Amino acid sequence: MELKDKLKVSVIGSGYVGLVTGVALAELGHSVICMDVDESKIAEIKKGNIPIYEPGLGELLLKNKAEGRLKFSSSLKEAVDHGLIIFIAVGTPPKSSGEADLSYVENVAREIAINMDSYRLIVEKSTVPVETGERVRQAMQLYIKGDIDFDVASNPEFLREGSAVDDFLHPDRIVIGVDSSKARDLLFCLYSPLAAPLIVTDIKSAELIKHASNSFLALKISFINAVSRISEMVGADVDKIAEGMGMDERIGKRFLNAGIGYGGSCFPKDVDAFIHMSEVLGYDFKLLKEVRKINEEQRQIVLKKIKEGLWILKDKKIVLWGASFKPGTDDLRGAPAIDIIEALLKEDAKVTVVDPQALDKLKDIFKDKISYEVDKYKAAKDADCILLTTEWDDFKDVDFKQLKDIMRLAFIVDGRNLYKHSELDSHGFLYLPFGSSAVGKPIGDKKVI
Ligand code: UGA
C-alpha cells in the first residue's frame, strides 16, 4: 500500500460526527459510503438536505457526491461490503448516571462482524469510554463467522461545531490508537493528504486523550469562571486577568473567556462520562466534579444578576440575545439558555428570544411559553433587560443609543463579556458583565455567590 493510495471507507452513523467525517474523507479523495439506519434521514441527505447546520458541509457534500466519491446508504451490509476501513460514528448518549450508553456501538460492532467476509479495520470515532475498543473487539469475535482477520483502532475526533469541516481538514493533530502495524499503516495512508502531526498510541491512550482533552478545556473555562467571582468581589477585571495569564504560552489564551459557562453536546456529557468512568475504575475525580459544579453555578449567577437589576422578575420582559450553546450552530443541547429560560419562566418573567439559527429548535421545546424574534431591536421593544447569551456576530454590532430608546429599562446582563464598559456607561446603561465591576447602580443584592 502506497501513502497516496485512495481507500474505500464506510462511516456507520450519519449524525454530526459521521457526516462530517464521511464528507471530509471523500474530499481527501477516498471512496466513502455514509450509512445510517434512519432511512428518511438518508433519503433527505441524498436530496442534498443536510440535517444539521454546519458551515461548508453542504457544498462539500454535493461536490463529492457529484464527483462520485461519496454515497449514502441505509444498508449496513452495503457499508460493510464497501469499506476496508469502517468508522463507527453512532451516538453514545448519556444515561441518567452520566455513563455513556454504548448499546449502539455494540450493535454496530455485532452487525459488522456478522456481515464481514474478509479483513476490515474498525475505527471508533464516537467519543467512548476507555476500554471500549477492547469491548468492540470482544463483541466482534463472538459474532464473526469463521476465521476472518480484523483490527480495531481508536481515532477520536476534535471537531468543534460551527467549524467542524475546517477542523477536520486542518487539524492540530491526528490521534491514532492502534495495536497492529497493518492498522497503523492504513490510517497513515487515509490521512496522508493532511499536513498534520500524527500521534500514534495504544488504543486505550487514544480513548483517554479525547476525554482528557475535552475535560481539560472545560476545566479551563470553569477555572476562569471561578477567578471571575473573586475578580468581581474586589473590582478587578477578569478579561484582563485572562489576557495576562494567556500570554504565558504554557497557559495559552484560548478557552479563558469567563461568562455563563460551557454548554453543548460534548463538554457536559464528556465531563460526566469521565467522572463516571473514573468512579467505575476506583478513582474519585473530585477536580472534575468541581469543574461541573462551577459551570452549573454560572447559570444561577445569571439569574442573580438579572435580579440585581430588577429585583422582582414577575411580568418583566427579559430578552435573550442568543439561544444556541455557541455561535455558528443551531444546537441547543446543553445550552445555558435553556436552563436560564426555564428559571425565568418559574419566576413568571416574560421571555423573548432572538437567535439567527436556533429558533425552530427552540420552538419545539418552549412552544408558546415564550416569544421568538429574529430582529434584535424589535425584540428589545419595552424590554426590562437584555441578556446576552450567545456571541453571534449580529449582537457584536449594537447601536446602544437606539437600543436605549427602545427598551423600557436600559439594562444589559452580558453573559459573554462582549461589550465595552465605557460605551455602555456613556449611554447610561445599567451593565452587569461577569468578573468585573458593574456599570450603573444595581438595586438588588450584589453578592452573587
Ligand atoms: C468541543 C471541543 O472543543 C472539540 O475539540 C471536540 O471535538 C468536541 O467538543 C467534541 O467532543 O465533539 P464544541 O462542543 O463544538 O467542541 O464547542 P466548543 O467550541 O469547544 O465550546 C464549548 C462550550 O464552551 C461553548 O458553550 C462555549 O461557549 C464555551 N466556552 C468556550 C466558554 O464558555 N468559554 C471559552 O473560553 C470557550
Query: Is any atom of ligand 1 closer than 6 Å to the C-beta of 256?
Result: yes
- Bridge partners of 174, per DSSP, are 198
- Does residue 447 have a pLDDT over 50? no
pLDDT score at 120: 97
Mean pLDDT along residues 289-317: 97
Mean pLDDT along residues 136-141: 95
pLDDT score at 129: 87
Mean pLDDT along residues 129-150: 93
Query: Is any atom of ligand 1 closer than 6 Å to the C-beta of 266?
Result: yes
Do 320 and 352 meet the contact criterion of CB atoms below 8 Å apart? yes
Q: Comparing 126 with 414, which gets the higher pLDDT? A: 414
- Does residue 446 have a pLDDT over 50? no
pLDDT score at 328: 87
- Does residue 445 have a pLDDT over 80? no
Q: 444: pLDDT confidence band, cut at 50, 70 and 90?
A: low
Non-local CB neighbours of 122 within 8 Å, separated by 6+ positions: 86, 88, 109, 112, 136, 140, 150, 151, 152, 153
| 3-state helix/strand/coil string of 133-146 | HHHHHHHHHHHCCC
- Backbone φ and ψ for 157, nearest 5 degrees, come out as -100, 150
Non-local CB neighbours of 367 within 8 Å, separated by 6+ positions: none
- Does residue 382 have a pLDDT over 60? yes
Mean pLDDT along residues 358-377: 97
Query: Is any atom of ligand 1 closer than 6 Å to the C-beta of 143?
Result: no
Which of 326, 389, 392 for a ligand 1 pocket mutation test, highest count of atoms within 8 Å of Cβ?
Answer: 326
Non-local CB neighbours of 68 within 8 Å, separated by 6+ positions: none
Mean pLDDT along residues 94-122: 93
Q: CB count, 10 Å around CB of 251?
A: 14
Residue range 190-248, pLDDT digits in tens: 999 999 999 999 999 999 999 999 999 999 999 999 999 999 999 999 999 999 999 99
User: What is the average pLDDT score of the chain?
Assistant: 94
Query: Is any atom of ligand 1 closer than 6 Å to the C-beta of 267?
Result: yes
Where would I find the beta strands (DSSP E) of 132-258? Answer: 150-154, 174-177, 198-201
Residue type, 236: A
pLDDT score at 50: 87
- Nearest partner of 265 among 329, 332, 208, judged by Cα: 332
- Does residue 167 have a pLDDT over 50? yes
d(CA 384, CA 347): 14
pLDDT score at 145: 87
- Bridge partners of 150, per DSSP, are 120
Query: Ligand 1, closest atom to CA 391?
Result: 28
Among residues 34, 189, 266, 385, the one annotated as catalytic is: 266
Residue 189 is a catalytic residue: no
Q: 9: pLDDT confidence band, cut at 50, 70 and 90?
A: very high
d(CA 287, CA 333): 24
Mean pLDDT along residues 94-121: 93
Query: Ligand 1, closest atom to CA 156?
Result: 7
Q: 3: pLDDT confidence band, cut at 50, 70 and 90?
A: low
Tell me how far the alpha carbon of residue 262 lies from the centroid of ligand 1, in angstroms: 7
pLDDT score at 449: 37
Residue range 346-362, pLDDT digits in tens: 999 999 999 999 999 99
Q: CB count, 10 Å around CB of 378?
A: 12
Instruction: Give the DSSP letter string of 80-118.
Output: HHH-SEEEE-----B-TTS-B--HHHHHHHHHHHHH--S
Do 88 and 13 meet the contact criterion of CB atoms below 8 Å apart? yes
Q: 97: pLDDT confidence band, cut at 50, 70 and 90?
A: confident
Which of 215, 217, 338, 389 for a ligand 1 pocket mutation test, highest count of atoms within 8 Å of Cβ?
Answer: 217
Residue range 50-95, pLDDT digits in tens: 888 888 999 999 999 999 999 999 999 999 999 999 999 999 988 8
Closest Cα to atom 29 of ligand 1:
262
Tell me how far the alpha carbon of residue 365 lies from the centroid of ligand 1, in angstroms: 23
Please name the residue that has the C-alpha cell 477578569: 238
